[in-house]
Structure 1
Amino acid sequence: MFSNFMTFAPFILQGLTTTVMVFLYGALLAYSIAIIAGLMRTSQFAIVRTIAAVFVELFRGTSLLVQMFFLYYALPQLIDGISMSLMLAGSLAVGLNYGAYASEVVRSAINSIHIGQTEAAISLNMSRFQRLRLVILPQAFRLMLPGFGNNAIELLKGTSLVYFIGLADLTFNANVLRGSNTAISSQVEIYTYLLVAYFLLALPLIVLARYLEKRASKGVTLS
């Protein structure tokens, strides 16, 4: 076992760039959505809260894989003129799905700020925007960081599903190898390399998430 390292590992790693790109694009979209949707969930206007709630529950309540299939195969058929690449469909689905989950981190962090903070800001004659920007968000952001770190780890693992729509990532290449190497020992070797590859990618995120959790638990404001 593990006698084909020089053959299997380099082939699997050819998909590394794709996996990293989907992760980066997906994370950028996810955290942008999380902040926007999270703020909308705390809006004083019911219609704004409702729109955000529908979005969040739609993407949290449906499968990420089905969302990828819908964006790549169904959406172009429903709307003329839309053409979506594999990379765009995969990144968009990952970003929308994990953005919906991360928006709950934003909402709960904002809601956890003591009402006395808001009352103090009102007594200083601050507008709602000033209260949010100068008082609420700086405190809430520190509370969001551990959740964002954990969400990033989950997002990275979720990128493995893009192989189902044909995107040549790490998982896709591993399955190509499996198809041409049917011996049990070879398949064990292939998926061992795949596990190690994802773990090494996730390791910096794991370390960062733990660090942020410790900082947040101590109540230290990150500079």
Structure 2
Amino acid sequence: MIEAIMESHYIQSLPFLLKGLVWTIIITIVGLILGFALGAITGLGRLSKNKLIRGICAVYVEVVRGTPILVQVLFIFSGLTEDIIGFNIDKVTASIIAITINAGAYIAEIVRGAVHSIDKGQHEAGRSLGLTQRQTMRFIIWPQALKRMIPPLGNQFIISLKDTSLFSVIAVGELLYMGKQYYNATFSAFQTLIMVCILYLIITVPTSFYLRKLERKLDV
């Protein structure tokens, strides 16, 4: 019985799938780190009093949120050719850029909403202490807003993690692509895709549970 299980495709596919899972996590984490930086700048830009900055940030957010990430990664990988930008973008870099740009637009709204939710009296308190507008944002508003961002940022991590499965279309060696490579060679689609789902769930379910617990703890 045990020997049969060990020789089944459920187990035999694991070495291939784990390699893909590593790339899935790397692309997601790197993309989200860069996406948070882009989203923070854009989110604060949408709150700017400068109409030009506010308009540019709004256009970026609406364009990215209004187009599928699959189209975005294909545009970056296949559309931005050497003839247009002078060099070719490799598939992993294209995937990270796609996650960065896509997540950045959604994170921008998270940042904007979190900062906007802070009571205006906090701004006035900072000014009454003699702080500049920038210092008030840095030392008073941002720490409070960041606390409120944590749960939705965690949800964005789960969304971006699942979005990486779309990058199999450009042959990125992430989890789904490695699964497809395995079952195409072994004709074991059912068992392999079951394992793909399980590996996604191993990441997403504990993350969702932790986020709910964190949200209750932070009382946000």
TM-score scaled by structure 1?
0.89
Deviations 1:77-122 (A, max 9, x none): 5624132111100111011101111111100010011111112222
> What does 1:183-202 align with in structure 2 at a 5 Å threshold?
186-202=188-204
State the AA in 1 paired with 2:157. Answer: A
2:98 is aligned to 93
Cα distance between partner residues in 2 of 1:189 and 1:156: 22
Match of 2:61 among 37, 56, 63: 56
Q: Is the 8 A contact 2:114 2:148 kept in 1?
A: yes
Q: CA RMSD in A?
A: 1.8
Deviations 1:20-55 (A, max 9, x none): 221121111111111111111111111111111111
> What does 1:67-216 align with in structure 2 at a 5 Å threshold?
67-77=72-82, 79-182=84-187, 186-216=188-218
State the AA in 2 paired with 1:8. Answer: S
Q: Is the 8 A contact 2:24 2:174 kept in 1?
A: yes
Superposition deviation, residue 152 in structure 1 = 0.9
In the TM superposition, structure 1's runs of 4+ consecutive aligned residues that sit over 6 Å from their partners are none
Match of 1:30 among 32, 35, 42: 35
Deviations 1:169-219 (A, max 9, x none): 11001112232344xxx32211110001111122443233223311232x6
Q: Is the 8 A contact 1:160 1:170 kept in 2?
A: yes
Superposition deviation, residue 145 in structure 1 = 0.8
TM-score scaled by structure 2?
0.91
Q: Is the 8 A contact 2:179 2:196 kept in 1?
A: yes
Cα distance between partner residues in 1 of 2:49 and 2:85: 37
Cα distance between partner residues in 2 of 1:51 and 1:109: 20
Cα distance between partner residues in 2 of 1:96 and 1:149: 17
State the AA in 1 paired with 2:47. Answer: T
State the AA in 2 paired with 1:104. Answer: E
How many residue pairs match? The answer is 215
Cα distance between partner residues in 2 of 1:111 and 1:59: 22
Q: The residue matched to 2:34 in structure 1 has which SS?
A: helix
Q: Is the 8 A contact 2:118 2:141 kept in 1?
A: yes
Q: Is the 8 A contact 1:149 1:208 kept in 2?
A: no
Match of 1:7 among 12, 26, 32: 12
Cα distance between partner residues in 1 of 2:197 and 2:74: 25
Identity of matched residues, %: 33
